[in-house]
Amino acid sequence: MPPTPTHHARRLAAIGLFCASALMAPAHATTPRAPEVDSSALAPLANPEGETNPYRNDPRAIAIGRDAFNQSCASCHGVDADASRSPAPDLRRIGRICARVPEPDLKRRCLTDADVYFRSTVEKGKIKLGIEHMPPWKDILPTELIWAIRSFVETAQGQRR
């Protein structure tokens, strides 16, 4: 007996449900996990709620940030922040335009905006159209480590290919 129109409708509905469930699945493939790094060399934050990266250009923070990045972020954003073959955005692009701003006060505001965006995104994660593209890290990474990672990513900008 040949398939009936009802049979085709059920098959299409099943395929549609399967595709919809695939879209609802999280986009990230890994579970967030705190890096195993010694962050004791990082200076205590004078203002934990501050909007500006307190470790910018600090060699110790950059080294700690690199270790933390490669343990916790590289699976999505690429080893040493080289996202050329990675599924997630290239973090080296955040704030890159600030280097071209000649006026010091405006440049400082530009960097602060980039810092706020970076920290907020790391802490809250990214959800678009109901799909989690990046998990929130607020309860996993201390603020000091987020700033150290930001410091590393900023230095990796010069290594962009």
The ranges assigned to domains in the chain are 51-159
CA dihedral 63, 65, 69, 70 (to 10 degrees): 20
Query: Which CATH entry fits the domain spanning 51-159: 3.90.226.10, 1.10.760.10, 3.40.50.170, 3.40.50.970?
Result: 1.10.760.10
User: How is residue 134 written in tokens?
Assistant: 């990046």
Residues 106-130 as b/e (b if ≥16 CB within 10 A, e otherwise) read eeeebbbebbeebbebbeebbeeee
**pLDDT digit string (tens) for 106-160?**
999 999 999 999 999 999 999 889 889 899 999 999 999 999 999 999 998 765 4
Neighbours of 69 (CB within 10 A): 26
DSSP letter at 37? -
d(CA 32, CA 134): 9
Distance of alpha carbon 127 from alpha carbon 104, whole angstroms: 34
pLDDT at 26 over 50: no
Q: What is the pTM of this model?
A: 0.78
